[in-house]
Amino acid sequence: MSHDVQKVRSFEHPGEGRKRAKSTPKGRQIDPQAAEEIALLLGDRPRRRDLLIEHLHLVQDKYHQISAAHLAALAEEMKLSFAEVFETATFYAHFDVVKEGEANIAPLTIRVCDSLTCAMLGAEKLLHELQNTAGPGIRVVRAPCVGLCDVAPVAEVGHHYVLHATASEVRATAARGDIEPMIPPYVDYDAYVKDGGYKLLDDLRAGRVSKEDVLTALDDSSLRGLGGAGFPTGRKWRAVLGEPGPRLMAVNGDEGEPGTFKDRFYLLRDLHRFLEGTLIGAHIVDATDVYIYIRDEYPATLKVLPLELAKLPKGGPALHIRRGAGAYICGEESSLLESIEGKRGLPRHKPPYPFQVGLFGQPTLINNIETLFWVRDIVEKGAAWWNSHGRNGRHGLRSYSVSGRVRNPGVKLAPSGLTVRELIDEYSGGMAEGHKFRAYLPGGASGGILPASMDDIPLDFGTLEKYGCFIGSAAVIILSEQDSVKDAALNLMRFFEDESCGQCTPCRVGTQKAALLMEKPVWNRELLDELSQAMRDASICGLGQAASNPLTTVIKYFPEEFIPKEAAE
Q: For 91-137, what is each residue's pLDDT tens digit?
A: 999 999 999 889 999 999 999 999 999 999 999 999 999 999 998 99
pLDDT tens-place string over residues 447-492: 999 999 999 999 999 999 999 999 999 999 999 999 999 999 999 9
pLDDT at residue 254 in the model = 95
What is the model's pTM? 0.93
pLDDT at residue 29 in the model = 87
Q: What 3-state DSSP class applies to 294?
A: strand
Amino acid at 253: G
Res 177 pLDDT > 60: yes
Q: How crowded is residue 250: how many other Cβ atoms within 10 Å of its Cβ?
A: 25
pLDDT at residue 497 in the model = 97
Least confident of 189-198, 222-231, 264-273, 514-523: 222-231
pLDDT tens-place string over residues 325-362: 999 999 999 999 999 999 999 999 999 999 999 999 99
The three state secondary structure string of 504-532 is: CHHHHHHHHHHHHHHCCCCCCHHHHHHHH
pLDDT at residue 24 in the model = 55
Res 149 pLDDT > 50: yes
Res 286 pLDDT > 50: yes
Res 566 pLDDT > 90: no
Euclidean distance between CA atoms 110 and 107, whole angstroms: 10
Res 301 pLDDT > 50: yes
Q: What angle do CA 189, 195, 199 make, to 5 degrees?
A: 80
User: How confident is the prediction for the chain on average, in pLDDT?
Assistant: 94
- 562 pLDDT band, cuts 50/70/90, is confident
Name which of 218, 245, 248, 250 is nearest 233 in CA terms.
Answer: 218
Cβ neighbors of 436 (< 8 A, separation 6 or more) are 480, 481
Mean pLDDT of 4-14: 43
Give 75's Cβ-side CA count (13 Å radius). Answer: 22
- 67 pLDDT band, cuts 50/70/90, is very high
pLDDT at residue 494 in the model = 98
pLDDT at residue 160 in the model = 97
Euclidean distance between CA atoms 222 and 216, whole angstroms: 10
DSSP-derived letter for residue 136 is T
Handedness of CA 547, 549, 555, 558 (dihedral sign): negative
Res 15 pLDDT > 60: no
